Chains A and B, each alone.
Chain A
Amino acid sequence: MGEEKEYVTYAIKNDLQSLLNDVKAYIRRGQIRTYYVDHFNTKDEWLWNHLFMGSISNGKLILSNGKVVVSTRFHADRGSLLEMRVLWGITAQSGATRLFGWGHPSGWFFIGFEMIGETVYAIVQCHGERRQVDITSQLPSDYDSAFHSYVIVIDKNVVRFYVNTILVAEIELFALTPHFTTGEGLIIGNYDTIAGDMQVDWVTIVYFTPSEKFTPTSQKVYSGGGDIAGGTSLTTAWSYTVPEGKRAIIEAIQLICDTDSVNEVYGTILLSNGEKSMNIGTVGQAVGISYGKIMFTYPRIELLPGMQVKGMYRNGDTSTHTIWVRALITELE
């Protein structure tokens, strides 16, 4: 826990400038990719974008019965640390249902701490499979009435759960929901009807390089196109999707089109997360915009599980045109 503990120490600093300096140092060393902390001084509209049913009082988030807050700004990922300083408000007892961690409100994905009846669990749940460890006996005796630090560290293949920096559970990461799933993110909820508000002092999110590095396992050029006949509709010549448990990098892309002066004759490469797409390169002319005839770049974009790259072409002219769409993709495991 050495590195993660150090991150937590830095994360709770209140002085913004020293905090930023520390974070920049970590980023320079390649240890942190993104960073966020919410002290609940006010409701942070930017972070809690999906659902906010709680209230703020004296720098604390207060969740009475039936209240839930959700953020989809951040997502569970291999190489992430989530700390929440939480006061449960009640002891584990019949009828209790309270939770916090990474999750989806409908419950098909959850990595976090959950109080269910008389037990508090550390849980990894995904696609109908649930693995849990009873941590009730490892909680501090005053967990119902005092704030304690609860940390979830997702490493490459394992999720570690800490309470006050003490490891209380270690569960294999058997699946991880692809990013960008609607509604998936941070979740804190008090679902029961037992008197005693749940409170959260702060939330910290740190993304770091997983201790077990990903190593290249394959490298392939995806290539499509050639002499494309006039009147060819938009066609996805190739597609690459990152499998679960892997990462990939778009090392280089190459696009060629023999003209950029004829409308609707073009080649393009798109990056998609399953819901939305972004264009990472185009040649030829599309919708009246000329993009040039050759594009050769090294985007070095890292892809997460479920993300898809597509090479596409279209020839809306009446005569044949030469169009190539290529990408060199390295798969990591």
Chain B
Amino acid sequence: MRIIVRLIGKGTPEEPYEVPLPTYTIIKVDYKTKIAIVEVPDEYFTETEIKRDGTVEVRKLKRINIKKLMRLYPLWYKTIYQKYRKIIDEIELE
């Protein structure tokens, strides 16, 4: 999935420009506006529900499934997400 996200950091060795997500690949960066087009795993925007009959339904979400990321990346959730939640919560699929 491709998303548009604001970079964090200052571009220094101590604080390089980064995307505040656990796994991503930058496709394109506009350094003037500090905005990047980024590829992230599809599962960041899905929700899985197991039905009573045992079938699995995968729903697409418009925003990042933070609960899922909290479970998969607890350290990220405690540190990066708490610090940059405003940026992360704003991320939306086009």
Give A residues with C-beta under 8 Å from B: 127, 175, 177-178, 181, 222-224, 232-241, 243-244, 274, 306, 308, 310, 312
Contacts and interface: CB of A to CB of B under 8 A. Distances in A.
Given A274-B79, A312-B16, A237 B26 contact: yes
Contact of A241 (B10, B22, B25, B31): B22
Nearest to B12: A234
Interface string B49-80: 00000000000000000000001111110010
A109 to B, nearest CB: 10
Contacts of A244: 71-74
Contacts of B74: 127, 175, 177-178, 244, 306
Contacts of B19: 236, 239
Which 6 pairs from chain A and chain B are nearest by CB? A233-B11, A241-B22, A243-B72, A234-B16, A238-B25, A236-B18
A239 B22 CA distance: 7
Interface centre among B9, B21, B73 (most CB of A within 10 A): B73
B82 interface: no
Contacts of A312: 16
Given A235-B16, A237-B26, A306 B75 contact: yes
Nearest to B38: A238
Given A223-B25, A239-B21, A274 B11 contact: no
A229 to B, nearest CB: 8
Nearest to A218: B41
Contact of B24 (A175, A232, A235, A238): A238
A291 B63 CA distance: 42
Contacts of B23: 239-241
Interface in B1-42: 7, 9-13, 16-19, 21-26, 29, 31
A274 B17 contact: no
A272 to B, nearest CB: 10
Given A233-B10, A241-B23, A178 B75 contact: yes
Contacts of B10: 233
A233 B73 CA distance: 28
Interface centre among A175, A241, A308 (most CB of B within 10 A): A241
Nearest to B16: A234
Contacts of A175: 74
B74 to A, nearest CB: 6
Given A178-B75, A235-B16, A235-B26, 15 more contacts: A175-B74, A232-B31, A233-B17, A234-B12, A234-B16, A235-B29, A236-B16, A237-B25, A237-B26, A239-B21, A241-B76, A244-B72, A244-B73, A306-B75, A312-B16
Contact of A243 (B13, B25, B31, B73): B73
Contacts of A181: 75
Contacts of B75: 178, 181, 274, 306
A143 B24 CA distance: 53
Nearest to A226: B28
A268 to B, nearest CB: 10
B25 A234 contact: no
Nearest to A223: B25
